[in-house]
Amino acid sequence: MPSDTKTYQEETYIDNTIRLRGVLNTMPDFARDYFRAIEPTTSPKTRISYAYDIRLFFQFLIEENPVYKHHSIKDFQVQDLEAIQPVDIEEYLEYLKVYDTTDVHTKETKQVTNSERGLFRKMSALRSFYNYFFKRQIIQKNPTLFVDMPKLHDKAIIRLDTDEVAKLLDYVESCGSKLTGQALSYYNKTKERDIAIITLLLGTGIRVSELVGLDLSDVDFNNNGVMVTRKGGSQMVVYFGEEVEKALRNYLETYRKAVTPLAGYENALFLSTQRRRIGVQAVENMVKKYASQITNKRITPHKLRSTYGTALYKETGDIYLVADVLGHKDVNTTKKHYAAIDEDRRRSAANVVKLREP
């Protein structure tokens, strides 16, 4: 590997670190202390999300609170945090449900809405921000403690049924017969790559970020496994079966062998048509494109992960194995998502309770 070639994880870390610095340059100076403190326990991606969320809070104060209407975000001082009342935080949560934002580049205004999870995340970020200064006695009041966290309702888990998995793979393999012109040309060019990606996602349950980060050296056909880098940076071998092996070998012998990668991407396993490492968004768009032709369900790479986890649990009944293979740090996360969704058992419960004796 050339000395200047970086791994996907290294590239992502550098890009996110630079992005975070850019956001922090638009925030109050005292905010840097908080982000420096949480660095050991959070990823750059998490810190970027928190930075955007906290910056939005200051923007809300400027737009909606008369006290700060002449402020810029850089004008805020740490003492301003304790001048905020719980009712201001409640108004912020109400504001977050629907608000307008202007793109700094295009100057276009668009309407933004937040789901329960969006509200929960933004409130979590604000609480964490306040808690840092409150614990260190830099401020004497923490109004976020007096505001309830938004309630989260469980959502039905979307996944492909067994017959839908077969239909999806069949469609990716044969849909060229239904295409013409440029669409057919593009399909023929990327067919083996797309089959390999979707088969790998369905056959291992790895995350899309783990998939795009794979290098050629991460694939071990002697043991039929791929070395993935999990959240937090830990590495783990995830094993695959014969169907995945066949799809990967076919891709490597066709699309991957025929393409000369651009400098810096020589070791990337999956390449885009621009000869760079394929990105998360490209994989998400590709999965959506194919899945939309065989089901009305909104299928994403994460839904393929859910499909694999559900199938593995049904076949083994071993929730600890499922948690280990999927890379869940807390088995309770796995139980919540997979142990409680056995539709066959749920359906059989309908006939257990008799309302009348026959």
| Helix ranges, the chain (H) | 8-24, 31-37, 44-64, 80-83, 86-97, 116-135, 162-174, 181-204, 208-212, 242-253, 255-258, 280-291, 301-316, 319-326, 331-334, 343-348
Higher pLDDT, 346 or 110: 110
- For the cut 50, the answer to whether the pLDDT of residue 2 exceeds it is no
User: Once rounded to an integer, what is the mean pLDDT over residues 230-248?
Assistant: 92
pLDDT of residue 70: 94
pLDDT of residue 343: 57
pLDDT of residue 3: 47
What tokens does 59 get?
């923007």
pLDDT of residue 314: 87
- For the cut 80, the answer to whether the pLDDT of residue 350 exceeds it is no
User: Once rounded to an integer, what is the mean pLDDT over residues 293-321?
Assistant: 93
Parallel, antiparallel, or unpaired for β 109-113 and 219-220? unpaired
Q: Quick one: pLDDT band at residue 216, thresholds 50, 70, 90? A: very high
- For the cut 80, the answer to whether the pLDDT of residue 202 exceeds it is yes
User: Once rounded to an integer, what is the mean pLDDT over residues 12-24?
Assistant: 93
Residue with tokens 């390999």: 196
User: Once rounded to an integer, what is the mean pLDDT over residues 180-206?
Assistant: 96
Q: Mean pLDDT in the chain?
A: 91
- For the cut 50, the answer to whether the pLDDT of residue 19 exceeds it is yes
- Distance, CA of 272 to CA of 259 (rounded, Å): 10
User: Once rounded to an integer, what is the mean pLDDT over residues 53-62?
Assistant: 96
Beta bridge mates, 102: 109
How many beta carbons lie within 10 A of that of residue 350, not counting itself? Answer: 7
As a whole-number percent, the residues of the chain with pLDDT over 70 amount to: 92
- Let me know if 81 is exposed, middle or buried by CB neighbors in 10 A (0-12, 13-18, 19+): buried
- For the cut 80, the answer to whether the pLDDT of residue 342 exceeds it is no
* Domain annotation for the chain: domains and CATH numbers: 8-146 (1.10.150.130), 162-342 (1.10.443.10)
Terminal Cα-to-Cα distance of the chain (whole angstroms): 74
pLDDT of residue 352: 65
Most confident of 3-7, 104-108, 275-279: 275-279
User: Once rounded to an integer, what is the mean pLDDT over residues 50-70?
Assistant: 96
User: Once rounded to an integer, what is the mean pLDDT over residues 172-190?
Assistant: 94
pTM listed for this prediction:
0.84
Question: Are the CB atoms for 290 and 234 separated by under 8 Å?
Answer: no
pLDDT tens digits, 156-171: 788 999 999 999 999 9
User: Once rounded to an integer, what is the mean pLDDT over residues 24-47?
Assistant: 94
Q: Quick one: pLDDT band at residue 300, thresholds 50, 70, 90? A: very high
The DSSP secondary structure of 153-221, one letter per residue, reads ---PPP---HHHHHHHHHHHHHGGGG--HHHHHHHHHHHHHHHHHHHHHHHH---HHHHHT-BGGGEET
Question: Are the CB atoms for 8 and 228 separated by under 8 Å?
Answer: no
What tokens does 283 get?
């994989």
User: Once rounded to an integer, what is the mean pLDDT over residues 139-167?
Assistant: 92
As a whole-number percent, the residues of the chain with pLDDT over 90 amount to: 74
User: Once rounded to an integer, what is the mean pLDDT over residues 86-95?
Assistant: 97
pLDDT of residue 1: 43
User: Once rounded to an integer, what is the mean pLDDT over residues 191-210?
Assistant: 97
